[in-house]
Amino acid sequence: MSVVGGKAMTLNVIILAAGNGRWMVSHFPKVMLTISSESLLSRVIRTAQSLHPSQMNIVYGNGGSDIPNAFPQIHANWVHQYDQLGTGHAVMQALPFCKDKEQILVLYGDVPFISTDTLKKLLTVAQEKKGIGLLVATLPHPKGFGRIIRDKQNHITAIIEEKDATLEQRAIQEINTGIITAPVAFLKKLLPKIENHNAQKEYYLTDVIALFVQSGYPIADITTTDLMEIRGVNDLWQLMELERDFQQRRAQELAYNGVIIVDHTRLDIRGNVDIASAVQLEVNVILEGNVKIGAGSKIGPNVYIKNSIIGEQVTVLANSVIEGATIENHCSVGPFARIRTGTLMRTQSKIGNFVETKATILGENSKASHLTYLGDATIGKNVNIGAGTITCNYDGINKWPTEIGDGAFIGSNTSLIAPIQVGENATIAAGSAVSKHVPPEQLTIVRAKQETAKHWKRPSKKNPVLANKKLVD
C-alpha cells in the first residue's frame, strides 16, 4: 500500500525494460549498462521501491533471462515480452497481473534519474482527479519526443509521435516524457483498442491518451523542469553524456558542502560518499562503493578508493589504490601504494611508495616507507619496516600470521616466514630470512656465510655465427 498526498492507494508499478537498444552497437541489454557503476535498470527499480508499491512488474525482452537473473534479490514479477511491438504492447503483457482497483505507474528501464518526489506529485494529481496523470516537459529542441496536443481550453487531447507529426506539430516544444499513471480498469478497457497504423508499425502507449479523452476520463499533468529526470539512453554517446552530467552534479553537491575539487570533469563517484569539508580531491580521483573521508584530508591525483574509511588530515599521494581499508587520522599513504582489503592503519602511521598491504594492522606511528609487502600481519606501535621487507604468509595452501611487537626495527630486505612473532623492541638485521620467533630487545641476524668463488667466470656472449657453424659441424 502506497501513501501519496496523505491518502492511501494500491499502486502497481510497471517498468518497461525490453528494448533492444538498436543504436547501442551491442548485444548487451541496454538497461544493464551502467552510470556511476550502477545499472540503468537498478536505478529505476530503486526509485520504484521508494514508492512502496504492492507489486512491481518488470517487462523484459532483449537479453532474455540474463536480466532477471541479475536481480535475484528483487521481489518483482518478471514478464517476458517475446516480441517487441511497442510500449503499448509491453504494458499489455503486464496488465493480466494487475488488479482492476489498482493504480498503474509506468516507468522506463532506460530513464534512470526520475525522482521519487516527481512521481509522488504525479500520483497525487492523478488521484485528486480520479483519472490519468501524465508527466510532461518543455524542451527548446524537442527532437525525437512525442508532442503534447492541447485544445483551446489547454486540456491535453492527444500525443503525436515525432515520426507521425506534421511540421506544425513538430514545432510544439511541450513533450511527452512517457511516464504515465492510470487506473488499471481504464487501461484494461482501452489499451487493447490502440492500433499500429504509424511509421514504426508499433503499438504506442501514448495513443491511449486520445482514447481516454474520447471516453471522458480526466487527464491531469505536471511539468518537470529538471530535464535530467526524463533523459533516456538510446545510444552510447547519450550514455556518456548522462554519466558526465551526473558526475558534475555530484561534484557540485560536494563543492557546495566545502569539498575542494581541482577539476570536476576528472572526478568519478561510483557509489555513496560521505566527504567532510576542507577535503581536497585532485584530478582523476575515483571513489567507488561506500567511501568516507574525514575533514582536511588530501587525495592526490590518479587515486582509486573503494569501500574504505579515510580519517581526518590524511594524505593519500598520487597513484595509490585503497580498497576495503580503514585509515585513521593523520596517516600518510603512497605514492604508488596498494592498500588491500582488511588493512587498518592506526593514527599517524605511514605506508609509502610501492608498498602493498592485505589484512594487516599497522600500529600507531609505525611506518613501511617503501618496496614492501605486508599480508596477514599485526604490527604494533612505533615499528619501522625497512625497504624490501616481505611477510611470507602463504605456504601454497594456507595463509599464516605475522605479529610484530611495539618498537621493533625490521632491517631492509628481510623475509618474515610466517607463522612468526617478533618481540617488542627487537631488531632484525638487513637481509635476514627469519623463520623462528624473534626475542624482544635483541638483534637477530639470519644470513648465510659470505663466500667468494675464486675461479668463477661470468658467461660471455657467444658469437651467433660461430655458434651456428659449430652446430652444423
Give me the residue spans of the domains in the chain: 2-230, 236-444
> Which residue ranges of the chain lie beneath pLDDT 50?
none
pLDDT value at residue 243: 95
Class in CATH terms, 236-444: mainly beta
Distance CA(439)–CA(10), nearest Å, equals 72
pLDDT value at residue 201: 85
Which residue pairs from 324-328 have beta carbons closer than 8 angstroms and sit at least 24 positions apart in sequence?
325/357
Class in CATH terms, 2-230: alpha beta
Cell 576495503 sits at which residue?
324
φ, ψ of residue 54 to 5 degrees: the values are -70, -30
**Helices H, strands E: what count in the chain?**
9, 38
What is the SS3 assignment for 449?
Answer: coil
pLDDT value at residue 83: 84
pLDDT value at residue 21: 60
Choosing from 75, 141, 197, 370, the catalytic residue is 370
pLDDT value at residue 17: 93
How big is the CA angle at 453 (ends 448 and 454), to the nearest 5 degrees? 145
Distances (CA, A) of 134 to 11, 104, 116, 122, 176: 16, 12, 15, 7, 8
pLDDT value at residue 144: 85
pLDDT value at residue 456: 82
Beta-carbon count within 10 A of 140 CB: 6
Could you write out the DSSP letters of every residue in 48-109?
A: HHTT--SEEEEEEBTBTTHHHHT-TT---EEEE-SS---HHHHHHHHGGGS-TTSEEEEEET
Tell me which DSSP letter residue 419 carries: S
Same fold, 2-230 and 236-444: no
Could you write out the DSSP letters of every residue in 174-192?
A: EEEEEEEEEEHHHHHHHGG
Tell me which DSSP letter residue 162 carries: G
pLDDT value at residue 96: 94
Radius of gyration of the chain (CA): 32
pLDDT value at residue 459: 83
User: In the annotation, is 370 catalytic?
Assistant: yes
Give the pairing type, strands 174-183 and 103-108: antiparallel
Distance CA(378)–CA(346), nearest Å, equals 11
pLDDT value at residue 235: 87
pTM of the predicted model as reported, rounded to 2 decimal places: 0.85
**CA 241 and chain centroid, separation:** 16
Please name the helix (run of DSSP H) or strand (run of DSSP E) that holds residue 440, with its range, or none: none
pLDDT value at residue 198: 80
pLDDT value at residue 472: 59
